Structure 1
């Protein structure tokens, strides 16, 4: 669902960018100063950032696996907002997923630079701050059954993706720089993202079930009788990081080559899956910035998954060192 700059006008770029930045600012404050459930579960305020790093790498790798939608010629991939929120909490999940989207945009030219604010809003905000707190968390209970986990994951994933798909069509219509008729565009966007949401819900439920069974203390809000030691927590981080590297370095090679839901919908309306960006100065500047930062455009190496996972781990673990230093100084 990564929007390209061809769909976004300067005013929409400004509005979506401002909203996303404001919400990310709130998220940073919440994570640093807000009540942290992990403190009550025997965790540490220092634990959340490393966990954000390995979960960000895991979601980055998972997003590279495009699965085919039978009978459509389209494909979809996991967004990861519900999974991240279930483990990190909604605000930390928002920061993590936004970090993934920023790295995808700048390092891999996946999604437009002008469209970055819109992509964070559509893919991260709606899943982490709307679908998770309003649907997933109320449906989940301590020691939830597999059926309840599946129902909560699928319903929240579908709602998050459908809201994002609706937002894409509204933002495209508000931009007014394409010939995409909103009604027709919406008729393709909503059904295809319904199927993608079902796929994401299945994958999310599977991961949450495994975590609940073997490492329930990693789930957000779960209270433990005994705090886990640093060694056990470190082993859990290492296991997630290893899984991310394995997925990014191997399973992504067998991903579907079919266009994703957004590209497929554009193709159904216009006959082509990609549109030319406008030629005004801001669009040219955005394209120039992305050309300079994209070290692996379009993931055109078989090691792109490993590189991306490594980049996210380095960025977030570097931030965690600064965070620990500030805690000690305080």
Structure 2
């Protein structure tokens, strides 16, 4: 569902980018340690490593495109519901947004001008809409695998459908393509329903396993004394998935590309020749060291960058706490 710059006008990009930045700023404030006698600044030291290893896992999992039977399309998980159930919605928003920024800058996956749209469509709508409005009411505080799985399935579908609707609206509102709203939506919603079901099954399976073997990792029930062994196990799983299973990913077009192919007379949509699109393309060309994941080590590189950033963030927080 990563939008390219060719679908987005500078105005639409500015609106979505502003909304995403404001919400990311709110997320940072909510994760900032409280002040006063009962402040616990060390709490952030513990969640940052968890954000890093789960972010690396989601990055790796996103590289595995699974075929959608009978359509000629493929999909991949977004990961917002999985991250929200473990980290809480605001930390999940920061984590998933970091993954999307890395994908955009290092791998040219999604346009730089469209980055605000992609953060809003995939991170904001899944973490701040589908999770609190769908997942939490269904799952509640229950430890029942059935309720967790049902909540994961329903919330994943809701998140994908909201994202598909937002992509369609942003594309049509941009007015730089000839994609009619009704016909575009007619393809976007059903294909992302199927992809959402696939993500829901994967998310539910992982969360049920976490509930059974490591329930202290779940948001609201987290034991602050997480062991390094648990974090190392998640990091290792991310590296294994990113370094091996991504090789068997489907080569079929994703849901957005598939929908464009069936809606547009010419599916090869070119970016507009204006200054904003040219500038964004030039900047992305400079930052994209591994465009289109053109090496078998791309998964390991991406996971490594996220884990390194989490390690650096933890060290920075510890340094600030000692100086306080």
Identify unmatched segments of 5+ residues in structure 1: none
SS in 2 for 1:98: helix
TM-score of the superposed pair, with normalisation by structure 2: 0.95
What is the CA-CA distance between 1:25 and the residue it aligns to?
Answer: 0.4
Q: Distance in 2 between matches of 1:273 and 1:328?
A: 56
Aligned to 1:88: 87
Q: How many residues are paired up?
A: 320
Aligned to 2:127: 128
What is the CA-CA distance between 1:274 and the residue it aligns to?
Answer: 4.1
**TM-aligned CA distance change 1:274 to 1:244, over 3 Å:** farther
What is the CA-CA distance between 1:34 and the residue it aligns to?
Answer: 6.1
Determine if contact 1:142/1:222 at 8 Å carries over to the other structure. Answer: no
Identify unmatched segments of 5+ residues in structure 2: none
What is the CA-CA distance between 1:189 and the residue it aligns to?
Answer: 0.2
Confirm whether residue 304 of structure 1 aligns to residue 312 of structure 2.
no
Determine if contact 1:140/1:152 at 8 Å carries over to the other structure. Answer: yes
Confirm whether residue 236 of structure 1 aligns to residue 254 of structure 2.
no
Misfit runs of 4+, over 6 Å: none
Aligned to 1:155: 154
Q: Distance in 2 between matches of 1:238 and 1:143?
A: 28
Q: Aligned runs of 1:239-318 on 2, under 5 Å? A: 239-270=233-264, 273-318=267-312
Q: Distance in 1 between matches of 2:178 and 2:140?
A: 47
The two structures, once aligned, show a CA RMSD in angstroms of 1.6
SS in 2 for 1:180: coil
SS in 2 for 1:244: helix
Aligned to 2:319: 325
Q: Distance in 1 between matches of 2:282 and 2:87?
A: 35
What is the CA-CA distance between 1:233 and the residue it aligns to?
Answer: 1.7
Q: Aligned runs of 1:72-83 on 2, under 5 Å? A: 72-83=71-82
Aligned to 2:44: 45
What is the CA-CA distance between 1:321 and the residue it aligns to?
Answer: 1.3
TM-score of the superposed pair, with normalisation by structure 1: 0.94
What is the CA-CA distance between 1:271 and the residue it aligns to?
Answer: 5.2
SS in 2 for 1:46: helix
Q: Distance in 1 between matches of 2:229 and 2:14?
A: 43
